[in-house]
Amino acid sequence: MKKLLNEELDRLTVEEIKNIEKNPLTIVLDNIRSMHNVGSAFRTADAFLCEKILLCGITARPPHREIHKTALGATETVDWEYHENTVNAINELKSKGYKIASIEQADESISLDKFQFTSNEKLALIFGNEIKGVSESLIDISDFVIEIPQYGTKHSINISVSIGIVIWDLLFKMQR
């Protein structure tokens, strides 16, 4: 066994990735403070061919050196939009037929391992502020609240890790 070189990975070009059909998943970043988390979201969205990212509220937007440091060029391959008001952005997505899922711990949340959806649904996933999480106003207008099962003493997982876990799980379920 040998580790593959980048040239051996047969990756798409920027132009090819812009024109390929994307997975029907949109990432919504609500008031994310860390530009490294924003950059990581772009990299994950690129890796899993997510449809787009909505950057909302205080969430930083490209171009920015700190975002690019983590995104490693993914800001050029992933479509994104900025919305000052996240509730308005979610209502716009709903009007376009998206189902909305907040990723949060809530009294009526669905455990990620039990969450099911049909692969023809367009799904927007809301990830909230690193300290406050997803706001109650967004949970109120969500169709689902999905919770990542956790077993340790901490009450949260870093947002960039959460994005990877949730999207990988949903794409795995879509392929079955």
**β partners of residue 126:** 28, 102
Kindly list the domain boundaries of the chain, sorted by start residue. Answer: 18-147+156-175
Task: Give the contacts of 127 (CB within 8 A, at least 6 positions apart).
Answer: 27, 28, 29, 30, 32, 41, 103, 134, 159, 162, 163
Question: What percent of the chain is modeled with pLDDT above 90?
Answer: 88
Among the listed residues 32, 90, 28, the one whose alpha carbon sits nearest the alpha carbon of residue 60: 32
Is 18-147+156-175 a CATH 3.40.190.10 domain? no
pLDDT along the chain (176 residues), means of 10: 90 91 96 98 97 98 96 96 98 98 97 90 96 96 97 93 97 86
Taking only the tens place, the pLDDT of each residue in 107-137 is 999 999 999 987 788 999 999 999 999 999 9
Q: What is the pLDDT of residue 117?
A: 85
Model pTM score? 0.95
